[in-house]
């Protein structure tokens, strides 16, 4: 499978894209694009991949993705079971770093926004009071057809985020620098392969084959580009999907381990503790108590 450079066009000739995405499930393709992307999840849940960050997402998730930062939202397995009432829905705003023009971009008044765009290279999750404010402003953009008002609202959104302390960095700087510096096609192919095949036994030779490399060269290549081994990355992907299943509380832990590609329960428990600093049963109990 090849990586996707997604080309984004504004259908009405304006300088940025505002749209509502509605699908049976969220995207399966690991991709990137030169535009920054602000995404608010209205309906849906699953796993979000931003650079080397893997997190659960659900309704209310608000994230700013930087230019050319690879990412994908992968819906929970229930969205692939043909249920007619399952809908994945998100409000999305996409814009180039200098969408308002070169001269305007360098104005002193936009210094905070320029710094935000640089910060967004790692991906940012927006939380707290800032999220509440941004969601309200995003709804205003969708309510007006006036292009100038939309532009003013977008600038207000960016300024609000730029001044906020309710931001959580997603990807690591090491990954982003390596990703920008080196060939991205091989890494994209391996990421997409892993995200879609994590549930079964994967040999390193298979991942190496996806990258069209020998196993020794692939292992060195992957470590230099991602700051971790392929097995570490594969384990993180599997644990990420396991967390969603644990929260749903529909399957026993042993079945979840098997569904996420672990060959036995002890290996799953050990890997989970290393990444989450708690046992799978403890993780499930915490979320069960929270939901109650």
Are 21 and 164 found together in one domain? yes
> What is the chain's mean pLDDT, rounded?
86
Query: pLDDT tens across 43-72, in order?
Result: 999 889 898 888 889 999 999 999 989 898
Residues 202-218 have a mean pLDDT of 95
CB 123 within 8 A of CB 61: no
Within a domain: 65: yes
- Residue 199 shares a structural domain with residue 264: yes
Q: Which residue has the higher pLDDT, 99 or 92?
A: 92
Whether 135 is covered by a domain: the verdict is yes
DSSP string, 128-153: HHHHHHHHHHHHHHHH---HHHHHHH
- Picking from 18-32, 85-99, 117-131, which range would have the lowest pLDDT averaged per residue? 18-32
Domain count, the chain: 2
262's CB contacts (< 8 A; 6+ apart) are: 238, 268, 271
The region of weakest confidence among 31-45, 71-85, 110-124, 206-220 is 71-85
Instruction: Summarize pLDDT for 251-284 with one digit per residue, the tens.
Output: 999 999 999 999 899 999 999 999 888 899 988 8
Where is average pLDDT lowest: 79-88, 129-138, 153-162? 79-88
Whether the predicted pLDDT of 10 surpasses 70: no
Res 4: pLDDT: 40
Average pLDDT over residues 105-117: 89
Q: Which domain holds residue 189?
A: 182-291
Task: Please give the model's pTM, rounded to 2 decimal places.
Answer: 0.73
Q: Is there a single domain that holds both residue 86 and residue 229?
A: no
77: in domain: yes
Query: Of 109, 138, 169, at which residue does a domain stop?
Result: 169
> Residue 175 domain-assigned?
no
Crossing angle for the helix pair 280-291 and 265-276, to the nearest 10 degrees = 60
Q: What is the CATH number of the domain that holds 225?
A: 1.10.10.60
Are 127 and 161 within one domain? yes
- Given 169, 196, 231, the domain boundary residue is 169
Question: Do 102 and 129 belong to one domain?
Answer: yes
Residue 201 and residue 133 share a domain? no
Domain limit, last residue, from 111, 140, 169: 169
């Amino acid at each position: 499978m090849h990586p996707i450079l997604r080309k984004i066009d504004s259908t009405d000739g304006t300088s940025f894209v505002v749209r509502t995405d509605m699908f049976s499930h969220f995207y399966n393709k690991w991709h990137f694009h030169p535009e920054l992307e602000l995404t608010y999840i209205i309906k849906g849940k699953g796993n979000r991949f931003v650079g080397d960050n893997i997190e659960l997402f659900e309704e209310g998730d608000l994230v700013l993705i930087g230019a050319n930062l690879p990412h994908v939202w992968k819906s929970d397995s229930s969205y692939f079971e043909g249920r007619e009432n399952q809908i994945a829905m998100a409000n999305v705003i996409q814009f180039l770093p200098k969408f308002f023009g070169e001269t305007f971009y360098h104005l002193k008044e936009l210094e905070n926004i320029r710094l935000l765009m640089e910060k967004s290279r790692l991906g940012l999750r927006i939380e707290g009071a800032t999220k509440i404010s941004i969601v309200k402003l995003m709804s205003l953009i969708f309510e007006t057809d006036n292009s100038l008002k939309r532009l003013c609202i977008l600038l207000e959104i960016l300024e609000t985020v730029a001044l906020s302390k309710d931001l959580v960095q997603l990807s690591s700087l090491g990954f982003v620098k390596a990703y920008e510096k080196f060939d991205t096609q091989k890494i994209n192919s391996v990421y997409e392969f892993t995200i879609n095949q994590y549930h079964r036994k994967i040999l390193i030779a298979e991942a190496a084959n996806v990258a069209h490399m020998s196993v020794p060269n692939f292992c060195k290549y992957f470590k230099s580009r991602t700051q971790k081994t392929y097995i570490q990355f594969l384990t993180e992907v599997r644990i990420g999907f396991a967390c969603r299943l644990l929260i749903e509380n529909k399957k026993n832990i042993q079945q979840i381990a098997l569904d996420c590609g672990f060959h036995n329960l002890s290996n799953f428990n050990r890997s989970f503790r290393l990444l989450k600093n708690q046992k799978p049963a403890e993780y499930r109990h915490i979320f069960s108590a929270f939901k109650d």
